[in-house]
C-alpha cells in the first residue's frame, strides 16, 4: 500500500503531535524521535498496525518489537510479574535507553509484536516528544528503528524518509537523536541481569544500579564466560543465557565491504588502516576510512569520515549511522574503520561496527 508521507517540522510540534497521535490511534504507522534513534510506531495492541510496521521495514516477522510507554506505571498493564531487581532497573534508567524483557500478560499486546513469545520487551523513552506522542495516542506503541531492515538506524528524520517515504503515514521531526545507537536490551533471570543487546545504557551503569547482590552478564558471554551462540532455537536448556531473537539477523551493513581494523597502539592502528586502504585502492576500489578525530588528518583515501574523539566514544556512537549512510551515498566500495576502546558506550559502538563489518576484524 502506498501512503502519503507527512513531515512535521519542529515549529509545528503541537500540531504534529496531535496529527501523529491521531494516525497512531487509527491504526497507522508513524516515525518519531527517541533519545536513541528514530522509531517506527504503531498501536502495540493492533495486529494490523504491527503487520504494517513489519511490511514497511521489510522486517522478518519472527523478530519481536519493543513496546514504548509514556510512563513506567503503565508497565504493569502489559507485563508481570515484575521482580524487585527489574523494578530497580526501571527506577534507575526510565525514562531512558534501557529495554527490559518481561513476562507478557496474555492478550495485552498483539502476538505479532512479541512474535508469539511469552515475553514482551518494554521501555519508556528518554525523549520528551516521544513520551508526549505516546501519551496522546493513549496506547502502548510498538516501535522498532525506523529504517528498512538491514540499513543503518535513522538518527535524523531525513534518514527515515530516505528509507520509508511512501511506506508510512508520517514522521515527526525532532532533530538529531541523542545517543545514536539503540537501547540496551536486558532480561533478568534468577537475580542475574543478562544483556541481550548492548546499547545506550552501559554494563558499568547496570552493575552500579543492580547493586552488589546482583550479577550482570554482558552480551555474548555465556554462564561460564563462553561466547554464547545467540541464534534462536540453538539450544533451550534452562541453564543457558536467554537470547534475543534479533541478534541472528544481519544489521546495519553499508553496501560497500567494511573491515574493522584493531590495534592497541595508535601509530600502528594508523599505518594498518592506511596500508589496507592503499591496497584496496590499488585494486581499483573506491575507498573510504572511518576514523577518530585525532587520526582523520593522517589518512589519504577517496573519503575520510570522522566519527569523533577517541576519548569520547559517545561522539562516535552519535555519528556512526549517519556515516554509514554517507558511505553508501558516496558509493564507497571498500571501507576501513578504526576500532574504538570498548569502555562505556564504546562496547555498544564496537558491537554495531562489528555488525556493519559482517564480523570482519583485522588485528594489526
CB 232 within 8 A of CB 196: no
By beta carbon distance, the residue nearest Mg ion is 145
Sign of the CA dihedral 56, 243, 194, 72? positive
User: In angstroms, what is the C-alpha Rg of the chain?
Assistant: 20
Selected binder of ligand AMP within 46, 114, 205, 318 (CB under 6 A)? 114
Q: Which of ligand AMP, Mg ion, none lies near 274, with the C-beta cut-off 5 to 8 A by kind?
A: none
Among 197, 270, 295, 352, binds ligand AMP (CB under 6 A): 197
- Of the pair 242, 266, the CB lying nearest ligand AMP is at 242
Q: Which residue is nearest to ligand AMP (CB)?
A: 246
CA of 253: how far to CAs of 33, 100, 148, 323, 355, in Å? 22, 26, 11, 12, 7
Quick one: what does residue 245 bind among ligand AMP, Mg ion, none, with the CB cut-off 5 to 8 Å set by partner type? ligand AMP
The entry of Mg ion, ligand AMP, none that residue 347 binds, CB within 5 to 8 Å by partner kind: none
Burial 316-348 (b: 16+ CB within 10 A, else e): bbbbbbbbbbbbbeeebbbbbbbbbebebbbbb
**E strand intervals along 13-169:** 30-32, 39-43, 66-68, 98-103, 119-123, 141-142
Give phi and psi for 210, each to the nearest 5: -70, -30
**Following DSSP, what letter does each residue of 71-89 receive, concatenated?**
SGGGHHHHB-PPPHHHHHH
Binding-site ranges for Mg ion (CB under 5 A): 145
State the nearest-atom distance from the C-beta of 102 to ligand AMP, in Å: 8
Among 145, 202, 339, 357, binds ligand AMP (CB under 6 A): 145
Q: Which of the listed partners (ligand AMP, Mg ion, none) does 65 bind, with a CB threshold of 5 to 8 Å by partner kind?
A: ligand AMP
Grid coordinates belonging to 360: 570482519
When the beta carbons of 223 and 245 are compared against ligand AMP, the nearer one is: 245
According to CB under 6 A, which residues from 44 to 103 bind ligand AMP? 63-66, 101
Of 95, 140, 154, 246, the residue at the interface with ligand AMP (CB under 6 A) is: 246
Q: Contact with ligand AMP (CB under 6 A): which of 34, 177, 244, 357?
A: 244
- Residue 189's alpha-carbon distances to 76, 87, 164, 178, 223, in angstroms, are 18, 13, 37, 30, 12
Cβ-based nearer residue to ligand AMP, 101 or 269: 101
Q: Which residues bind ligand AMP (CB under 6 A)?
A: 63-66, 101, 114, 117, 119-121, 144-145, 182, 185, 196-197, 244-247
Amino acid at each position: 500500500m502506498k501512503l502519503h508521507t507527512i513531515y512535521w517540522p519542529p515549529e509545528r510540534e503541537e500540531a504534529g503531535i496531535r496529527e501523529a497521535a491521531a494516525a497512531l490511534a487509527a491504526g497507522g504507522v508513524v516515525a518519531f524521535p527517541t533519545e536513541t534513534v528514530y522509531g517506527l510506531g504503531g498501536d502495540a495492541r493492533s495486529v494490523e498496525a504491527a503487520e504494517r510496521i513489519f511490511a514497511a521495514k521489510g522486517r522478518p516477522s519472527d523478530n519481536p518489537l519493543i513496546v514504548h510507554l509514556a510512563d513506567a506505571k503503565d508497565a504493569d498493564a502489559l507485563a508481570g510479574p515484575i521482580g524487585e531487581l527489574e523494578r530497580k532497573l526501571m527506577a534507575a534508567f526510565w525514562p531512558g535507553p534501557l529495554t527490559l524483557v518481561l513476562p507478557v500478560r496474555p492478550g495485552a499486546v498483539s502476538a505479532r509484536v512479541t512474535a508469539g513469545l511469552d515475553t514482551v520487551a518494554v521501555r519508556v523513552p528518554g525523549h520528551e516528544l516521544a513520551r508526549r506522542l505516546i501519551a496522546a495516542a493513549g496506547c502502548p506503541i510498538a516501535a522498532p528503528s525506523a529504517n528498512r531492515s538491514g540499513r543503518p538506524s535513522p538518527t535524523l528524520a531525513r534518514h527515515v524518509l530516505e528509507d520509508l517515504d511512501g511506506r508510512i503515514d508520517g514522521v515527526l521531526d525532532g532533530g538529531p537523536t541523542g545517543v545514536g545507537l539503540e537501547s540496551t536490551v536486558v532480561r533478568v533471570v534468577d537475580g542475574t541481569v543478562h544483556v541481550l543487546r548492548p546499547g545506550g545504557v552501559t554494563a558499568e551503569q547496570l552493575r552500579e544500579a543492580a547493586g552488589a547482590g546482583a550479577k550482570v552478564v554482558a552480551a555474548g558471554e555465556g554462564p561460564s564466560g563462553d561466547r554464547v551462540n545467540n541464534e534462536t532455537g540453538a539450544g533451550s536448556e534452562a541453564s543457558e543465557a536467554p537470547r534475543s531473537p534479533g541478534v541472528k539477523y544481519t544489521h546495519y551493513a553499508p553496501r560497500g565491504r567494511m573491515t574493522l581494523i584493531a590495534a592497541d597502539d595508535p601509530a600502528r592502528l594508523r599505518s594498518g588502516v592506511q596500508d589496507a586502504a592503499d591496497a584496496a585502492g590499488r585494486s581499483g576500489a573506491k575507498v573510504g576510512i572511518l576514523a577518530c578525530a585525532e587520526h582523520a588528518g593522517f589518512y589519504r583515501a577517496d573519503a575520510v569520515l570522522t566519527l569523533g574523539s577517541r576519548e569520547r566514544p559517545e561522539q562516535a556512537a552519535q555519528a556512526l549511522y549517519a556515516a554509514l549512510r554517507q558511505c553508501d551515498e558516496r558509493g564507497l566500495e571498500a571501507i576501513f574503520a578504526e576500532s574504538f576502546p570498548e569502555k562505556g558506550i564504546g562496547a555498544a559502538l564496537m558491537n554495531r561496527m562489528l555488525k556493519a563489518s559482517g564480523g570482519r576484524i583485522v588485528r594489526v
